[in-house]
Copies of this chain bind each other. A is one copy, B any other.
Amino acid sequence: MKFDGPLLKSTTIDFDVGRFCIELAKKLFPIYRSITGQGVRDTLAHIKHQLPTLNICEVKSGTRVFDWTVPDEWIIRDAYVTDVSGLKIIDFRNNNLHLVGYSEPVDKWLDLDELDAHLYSNPDQPTAIPYVTSYYERRWGFCLTHNQRQSLSPDLYHAVVDSELRMGVLNFGELILPGQTTQEILLSTYICHPSMANNELSGPVVTVALAKWLMSLPHRRFTYRIVFIPETIGSITYLSQNLDHLKRNVVAGFNVTCVGDNRCYSYLPSRDGDTLSDRAALHVLKHIEPNFKRYTWMDRGSDERQYCSPGVDLPIATIMRSKYGEYKEYHTSHDDFSVVTEQGLAGGFEALRQAIETIENNVKLRMTVLCEPQLGKRGLYPNFNSQELYDQTIRMTMDAISFCDGNRDLLEIAELMGVPISRLVNALQPILNEGLLEPSLL
């Protein structure tokens, strides 16, 4: 691939990312999302308001997508449990986690034992409502705090789920930002989780912020493909419709999830583990927070399972703050805005932004002259042989030059030198300006 533009210098972000993200997240939080239905459409409408060129797509229920079938659409109108007096003791309208996702309709009186078979709580977190779904098997159920469950008296209860499963569509959003080449960077995030903040509103809102930043750039080397999809069935559907194009064009990408709390940074590799995405993620995280957590492919759990599956083989890695499954509020009503903060979201954004910038800047350069250039005659080299001055000014430039052999890319050189690629780019800029470096074929 030819590199035919200046390197991407660190850009000013022209909006307050943390605030933008938290405000958008708070708007989206109350919407009840599942893998299909009105909640997904409402969420996509909010996102399109931010990104007007977003294309909202639909695929019909019953469509075969590889080994799967697009499910019926699930409509939920109301769901509650009353006690014998008619008092709603569990009410989906109070907290949408109370209902097991994709619950089938029910309207009946049960005694406590019968009801209990349909209740879900977590004794280890007695004040949290757990998040439970049953997409592909017909059931109904309610989730509640373990404390509440233990307080239920042996009495009669009225359980009502006013839901419906019918032919409909699976929705997703797709945004294409063209670049200088047709090679693509894929960003994927999911919009199928109800009211939880880190997993998963942080992913969609940070992805919207990344899209806004990318749109503000004076030039982009790569084309960006940004998808907002339901997890698993969404990525499978999207892959089934775009596999050839994606395999031909995607050179890097990230699954954007769990990027909202301010506690740690995490990395989960692609299956290959050594793609450009992995290299960029590891490079960036090492310089942001050397003690970031490294997970392995064995710890995977989101759409990388599809993107990196055998035969699909896309180079998708994951940069996170606290990883799904690894923080105590995960998949409960406690995953709220006490967990996800402006600082947390801004940090998640920044790590991904730097990873993208790393990939944009990861060219292979070679010197246009043999031996070391005479920087002195260009005013770039202090002529007096003071070691100290030399060390402070142009040692990094000379080191960088010495590695620019046209074979090593800048990411490899930055790793060899132990410096962030952004500093390397700065050190090389004067040499580029003098025409002493030229791109070599990637």
Q: Which residues of A are at the interface with B, using a C-beta cutoff of 8 A?
A: 66-68, 132-137, 139, 232, 235-236, 239-240, 243, 271, 297-298, 300, 305-306, 308-313, 325, 366-367, 369-374, 376-377, 383-387, 399, 401-406, 417, 436
Contact = CB atoms under 8 A, between A and B. Distances in A.
B385 A132 contact: yes
Nearest to A378: B67
Given A311-B367, A371-B312, A135 B271 contact: no
A406 B309 CA distance: 12
B136 A310 contact: no
A37 to B, nearest CB: 18
Contacts of A401: 310
Given A139-B384, A271-B402, A310-B406, 18 more contacts: A66-B369, A66-B370, A67-B369, A132-B386, A133-B385, A134-B383, A135-B383, A136-B377, A137-B384, A236-B371, A236-B372, A298-B399, A306-B372, A310-B367, A310-B405, A311-B370, A312-B371, A313-B405
Given A305-B372, A373-B67, A384-B137, A402 B325 contact: no
A274 to B, nearest CB: 14
Contact of A405 (B311, B383, B384): B311
A242 to B, nearest CB: 12
A373 B312 CA distance: 13
A300 B386 CA distance: 16
B134 A309 contact: no
A266 to B, nearest CB: 18
A386 B139 CA distance: 14
Given A67-B371, A374-B67, A366 B136 contact: no
Contacts of A139: 384
A386 B367 CA distance: 57
A68 B243 CA distance: 53
Contacts of A369: 66-67
A421 to B, nearest CB: 17
A383 B136 contact: yes
Nearest to A132: B385
A61 to B, nearest CB: 15
30 contacts: A66-B370, A66-B371, A67-B369, A67-B436, A68-B371, A132-B384, A132-B386, A133-B385, A134-B383, A134-B385, A135-B383, A136-B374, A136-B377, A136-B383, A137-B376, A137-B384, A236-B371, A239-B371, A271-B405, A298-B417, A300-B402, A305-B402, A306-B372, A308-B402, A309-B367, A309-B372, A310-B403, A310-B405, A310-B406, A311-B367
Contacts of A384: 132, 134, 137, 139
Nearest to A101: B385
A372 B305 CA distance: 7
Nearest to A373: B67
Contacts of A133: 385
Contacts of A308: 402
Task: Pick from A137, A139, A402 the residue with the most CB of B within 10 Å.
Answer: A402
A385 to B, nearest CB: 5
A29 to B, nearest CB: 21
Nearest to A237: B371
A309 B383 contact: no
